[in-house]
Amino acid sequence: MYFDRVLPAALAMVVSLTATATAASAHAHMTAATPAAGSTVTAPRSVTLTFSERLVPAFSSLELSNAAGTRSTVTTTVSEDGRTLIGTLSAPLTTGRYTVHWAIASGDGHRMTGNHVFTVR
């Protein structure tokens, strides 16, 4: 009889704590990229990465390099809504394969990094 009351209450508490921990541990993730990963495009003048949460501009950046590892000059800004990282190129990209390397910090202080590749025709 004791277990008939305690067990359901304990189970409810475990489920509640697990759901709260999952929501609290969520991090920003990329929701869109232009150029998109794996795409082939014509000489872009910028690269944009949109995330699920606001970014901390001082700790968010992107770099762009070609297949030989040569970096392009990129000026990085964060959009007004705080969710999009914009890399403006000083010159159009030439034909080839490029890798976007990004690092962000979301409002909860977690740093995330990633990369993706696209091709310029």
- Residue scoring higher pLDDT (94 or 107): 94
Number of domains making up the chain: 1
Average of pLDDT values for 17-30? 59
Residue 23 belongs to some domain of the structure: no
Pairing of strands 111-120, 40-41: parallel
Chain CA centroid to CA 96, Å: 24
Q: Is the pLDDT of residue 8 over 60?
A: no
Q: Is the pLDDT of residue 17 over 50?
A: no
Residue 79 belongs to some domain of the structure: yes
Q: What percentage of the chain has pLDDT greater than the value 70?
A: 79
The pLDDT, as a whole number, for residue 26 is 67
Q: Is the pLDDT of residue 29 over 50?
A: yes
CA atoms within 13 A on the CB side of 120: 19
- The pLDDT mean for the chain works out to 86
Residue 21 belongs to some domain of the structure: no
Residue 113 belongs to some domain of the structure: yes
Residue 12 belongs to some domain of the structure: no
CATH for 104: 2.60.40.1220
Q: Which domain holds residue 54?
A: 28-120
Residue 37 belongs to some domain of the structure: yes
What pTM does this model have?
0.77
Per-residue pLDDT tens over the stretch 43-98: 999 999 999 999 999 999 999 999 999 999 999 999 999 999 999 999 989 999 99
Cβ-contact 106, 29 below 8 angstroms: no
Residue 106 belongs to some domain of the structure: yes
The pLDDT, as a whole number, for residue 108 is 86
Q: Could you tell me which of 63, 70, 78, 65 has the C-alpha nearest to residue 113?
A: 63
Residue 1 belongs to some domain of the structure: no
